[in-house]
Amino acid sequence: FHSDKYDPVFRLVPWARAEASARAGTSDLIYSLTHSPNRARHYHFTNPISEARDVFFSLSDRGLQWQELDDLAGLRVGLSAFYSYAPEFMDWLAAGNARVIQISQESPELTGLKMIAYGRIDLFICEETVCRYLIDKHIADHPELANVSAMPRTVGEVRSFRAAFSRQHPKGEALRNEFNKVLAELKPSDSD
């Protein structure tokens, strides 16, 4: 999104702070997030940029398997307090089918993976590429992560990651439209 017209400044901050700043209009853009009806009240969403695939992570040697959410009833399930999960998963949790541990630390995904490794939770739901990256990045310092892996099956549907501009920003909708135009002009790089 860099051009002669814009000189972007990127800040990496905890998710709750990023959302508060974007919702208030003091940040121009937030990335990445998935669309939800609640979030649509606060943001002008861009077109899809990449995909989000939520999966459960567990201890590899536990041999947990599931075909439907009810197969996991009674387990301790960790989740990030600020992430938007599939509605059917949230409905299942709201029905009291699992013991929910909401993680709101600065790095909830890494915390959730370590909680699995230490046996404090049975499952952690996470966007697959994010948690695989975190395991690879932190395994040298946290070798216990070697026994944590993704379970087969996606929780809910594969969703699109997007960027979003605040509805409080006076040019939020125009910025979103311009972003979408530039995004459409991008061509995937040839990796061959």
Q: What is the pLDDT of residues 11-27, one digit of tens each?
A: 988 888 899 999 998 99
The answer to whether residue 75 scores a pLDDT higher than 90 is yes
Question: Rounded to 5 degrees, what angle do the CA atoms 14, 15, 17 make?
Answer: 70
Report pTM.
0.74
Poorest-confidence range of 69-73, 102-106, 185-189?
Answer: 185-189
Examine the domain organization and report whether 59 and 146 are in the same domain.
yes
Give percent of the chain above pLDDT 90. 72
Q: What is the pLDDT of residue 189?
A: 58
* pLDDT tens per residue across span 76-135: 999 998 787 888 999 999 999 999 999 988 789 999 999 999 999 999 999 999 999 999
Angle CA 127–133–137, to nearest 5: 145
Q: What is the domain count for the chain? A: 2
Q: Is the pLDDT of residue 58 over 60?
A: yes
Q: Hey, which bits of the chain come out as E strands?
A: 29-34, 43-45, 50-52, 54-59, 76-80, 99-103, 123-127, 148-150, 159-166
Shared domain check, 74 and 42:
no
Range of the domain at 95: 54-150
- Both 60 and 78 in one domain: the answer is yes
What is the DSSP code (8-state) at residue 38? H
Q: Are residues 139 and 101 in the same domain?
A: yes
In this prediction, residue 2 carries a pLDDT of: 52
Give the relative orientation of helices 128-138 and 108-117 as an angle to the nearest 10 degrees. Answer: 70
**3-state SS, residue 30:** strand
Q: What is the pLDDT of residue 190?
A: 47
> What is the separation, in whole angstroms, between the first and last Cα of the chain?
25
Alpha-carbon distance of 129 to 86, in angstroms, equals: 17
Claim to verify: residue 137 and residue 87 sit in the same structural domain: yes
Strand duo 29-34 + 159-166: pairing: antiparallel
Q: Are residues 138 and 176 in the same domain?
A: no
Has residue 143 been placed in a domain?
A: yes
Residue 188 scores a pLDDT above 80: no
Do 65 and 137 sit in the same domain of this protein? yes
